[in-house]
A and B are shown apart, each in its own frame.
Chain A
Amino acid sequence: NAGVTQTPKFQVLKTGQSMTLQCAQDMNHNSMYWYRQDPGMGLRLIYYSASEGTTDKGEVPNGYNVSRLNKREFSLRLESAAPSQTSVYFCASSDSEYLALRHTQYFGPGTRLTVL
């Protein structure tokens, strides 16, 4: 049982390049989330998927797109990377929407992205 896995662990991009961050969970959770963590800013929600087939914007969605490929996988895409997107990106998952109100989120190990 691996929990939440993220690939890659590290990535360096040049301004304007694109890339996709991958996330997968094996806990049969319905809801999945993407956060970014910046020094002095805490964790901020980028996008979330309450259930397979649905996605919604979080606090800081600009410059990102997401795809809920199936129940297990939730990817985050940067179409044209900017230095302001240098950050640590975390994926998380949780139980069904109602249960999630009483239960915690489980986090992956993070992807450290640098945009030059």
Chain B
Amino acid sequence: KQEVTQIPAALSVPEGENLVLNCSFTDSAIYNLQWFRQDPGKGLTSLLLIQSSQREQTSGRLNASLDKSSGRSTLYIAASQPGDSATYLCALKVGAYSGAGSYQLTFGKGTKLSVIP
């Protein structure tokens, strides 16, 4: 069974600092990997999606990388802002398309980020 681990569980940084969030997984046979953001009391918002054939994706100050061979993904946030404070979750789609209902995600438990002004 795929296991997804996010370390650390919580992180506090001063505003303006660059930071890296980590996600590791046990089964390298993934189809894609996504990073989500969750604000307190809210649902999840997709930030970046990396297909298994890709190495990284960028959106604004965010850059996500994927290394399937080592079972790792990182989310890099440049010049952090207080508005970046949220919980960040990574999620994997395991395996290949195999018919009806095959799109299921396995989630990590998240890293709670606090950016201090």
Taking beta carbons and an 8 Å cutoff, which residues of A are in contact with B?
Answer: 4, 31, 40-45, 48, 50-51, 54, 56, 58, 90, 92, 94, 97-98, 100-110
Contact A97 B42 (CB under 8 A): no
Whether A50 contacts B100 in the complex (CB less than 8 A), given A90-B43, A108-B43, comes out as yes
Contact B101 A98 (CB under 8 A): no
Taking beta carbons and an 8 Å cutoff, which residues of B are in contact with A?
Answer: 4, 31-32, 34, 36, 41-46, 49, 51, 89, 91, 93, 97, 99-105, 107-110
Give the nearest-CB partner of B101 in chain A. A50
25 A-B pairs with CB atoms under 8 Å apart are A31-B103, A42-B89, A42-B107, A42-B110, A43-B107, A48-B104, A50-B101, A50-B102, A51-B100, A54-B100, A56-B101, A92-B44, A94-B103, A97-B102, A97-B103, A101-B32, A101-B97, A102-B49, A104-B34, A104-B46, A105-B46, A105-B105, A107-B36, A109-B43, A110-B42
Give the nearest-CB partner of B103 in chain A. A100
Give the nearest-CB partner of A88 in chain B. B41
Indicate which residue in A50, A90, A94 contacts B44 across the interface (CB closer than 8 Å): A90
Chain A residues lying within 8 Å of B99, measured Cβ to Cβ, are 97
CB distance from B38 to the nearest CB of A (A): 9
